[in-house]
Structure 1
Amino acid sequence: MTPSAARSSPLALTVLALLHYKPLHPYGVQRLIKDWGKEQVVNVSQRASLYRTIERLNAAGLIAVRETGRDQQYPERTVYEITDAGRETTRAWLEEMLSAPKQEFPEFPAALSNLLLLTPRDMADVLDQRADALAKKLDALEAAMAAEAEQGLPRITRLETEYLRAVTAAELEWVRAVVEDLRAGALSWSKEKLDALGAGPAQQ
């Protein structure tokens, strides 16, 4: 596999970015992701996915084994370092991810596209639950931003939290507005009209 064949992902980019600072073993990568709050934007809940990503980056020549060590407390650990090709690829991936919006397929829009299976009342109830969850998430993000500011961290280190806070606030406002329309009857439908739509154009 050549470096150009490596597939980008948020986790792969983060691994390469962390190895810019110093060589690390996989556990060290996972610990830094959590210590630096990057688990908000990178999924490391499954350690196996991290190991697979590291193996893929190594096979692509973007990282290399620096050393393998063992001590009494831990099993054998392989320490990786970034290669010159890895540095070039990190820059290319970063610029592409920042500049070009990607067509992604998250669960929520997919569920919205099938909401006609619910009644307006049921739809309002489930979206009310989502609004409650979003409000809690927003409170947590604002608390995290306040804590980061108190630590004196520069804004550049807090941009992902700032972005998540803005996106969460916008979604919460929209969900609450939809629920309000549902409760007021401004957003409604009938089974008969939906059945007619599903049947397609009337036969001539």
Structure 2
Amino acid sequence: MTFRRSTLALAILGLLENGPLHPYGIQRLIKQWGKDQVVNVGQRTSLYRMIVRLEEAGLITAGATEQDERYPERTVYHLTDEGREICREWLAEILTTPRNEFPEFPAGLSFVMLVPPETAGELLGQRRERLTKRIAELQLELRSEVNGQPVPRFALLETEYQVAVAVAEAKWIDSVLHDLRTGTLTWTPGPV
């Protein structure tokens, strides 16, 4: 069975590398380790559906059911050898191969001519302000500690990347805003 790669599937397989977990534990670690900034977990049902699909594909397997008087029964899942192999293959593909991921911002830019240049400038200015806040939040994450010790750099590489992308985007927006202010970038709004 061919399993379509996703960031959520990769996160589940990656977290199970460290040992068996129940779905709530997986969800908690995704949030606790900040992986929810790069993995769209969505609703808890999305996580459970993905776990079922991974199990059906033979990439994980159900183990014992844990019972704690404070919680309902929880099935613990284990990574299979095939799951470990697939996880490594996905990781190699993701790290080596740039892909067009169709983010919303470039799609919005492709239709910016539908609004007047002044409006576009205002909207991009608002995005720039939000980027400034986001960059500050991410930089704070980079200085985070656990038990008084800095988080190791390898655990923050995705945050470093997000900072680099946000800084580059902010710089690009600054140049577009400059060109809109000086009139070197303009258009007449209207239908495409």
Q: If the length of structure 1 is used for normalisation, what is the TM-score? A: 0.89
Query: Structure 2 counterpart of 1:127, which letter?
Result: L
The structure in which a higher percent of residues are strand is: 2
TM-align CA RMSD = 1.6
Largest Rg, 1 or 2: 1
Aligned length: 191
Say whether 1:71 aligns with 2:68: yes
Which residue in 1 is equivalent to 2:29? 32
Aligned-pair CA distance for 1:82: 0.3
SS at match of 2:63: strand
Please report how far the alpha carbon of residue 185 of structure 1 lies from its aligned counterpart in structure 2 after TM superposition.
1.1
Q: Deviations over 1:85-129 (max 9, x none)?
A: 001001000000100111211111110000110000000011011
**Any conservation in 2 of the 1:22–1:81 contact (CA below 8 Å)?**
yes
1:154 counterpart = 2:152? yes
Contiguous gaps of at least 5 residues in structure 1: 199-204
* Inter-partner Cα distance in structure 2 for 1:23 and 1:173: 44
User: 1:21 aligns to what?
Assistant: 18
Counterpart secondary structure, 1:54? helix
Give 3-state SS (helix, strand or coil) of 1:75's partner.
strand
Residues 63, 78 of structure 2: 8 Å contact kept: yes
- Secondary structure of the residue aligned to 1:95 is helix
User: 2:138 aligned to 114, 124, 141, which one?
Assistant: 141
Structure 1 CA distance for aligned equivalents of residues 150 and 127 of structure 2: 33
* Structure 2 gaps, min length 5: none
Pick the structure with more helix per residue: 1
CA distance in structure 2 between the partners assigned to 1:103 and 1:152 by the alignment: 34
Letter in 1 for 2:59: L
Kindly indicate whether the alpha-carbon contact (under 8 Å) linking 1:148 and 1:158 is maintained by their aligned counterparts in 2. no
Q: Quote the residue 1:6 is aligned against.
A: 3
Q: State how far apart, in whole Å, the 2-side matches of 1:84 and 1:190 are.
A: 59
CA contact (8 A) 1:25 1:77 kept: yes
Alpha-carbon distance in 1 for matches of 2:44, 2:55: 17
**Post-superposition CA distance 1:165-190 (Å, at most 9, x none):** 00010001111211121122111123
Pairs within 5 Å for 1:94-105: 94-105=91-102
Q: Is the Cα contact below 8 Å between 2:113 and 2:188 reproduced in 1?
A: no
Work out the CA distance in 2 between the residues paired with 1:110 and 1:158. 29
In 2, Cα distance between the equivalents of 1:61 and 1:109?
37
2:170 to 151, 160, 172: 172
**Cα deviation, residue 147, structure 1:** 2.1
Query: Secondary structure, in 3 states, of the residue corresponding to 1:69?
Result: strand
Describe the superposition over 1:52-89 as per-residue Cα deviations: whole angstroms up to 9, x where unpaired. 11111000000000112333211121110000100100
Residue of structure 2 equivalent to 1:190 = 188
Higher alpha-carbon deviation: 65-74 or 25-34: 65-74
* Counterpart in the other structure of 1:50: 47
> Aligned to 2:187, what secondary structure does the other structure show?
coil
Structure 2 equivalent of residue 201 of structure 1: none
Q: Aligned partners of 1:190 and 1:69: how far apart in 2?
A: 64
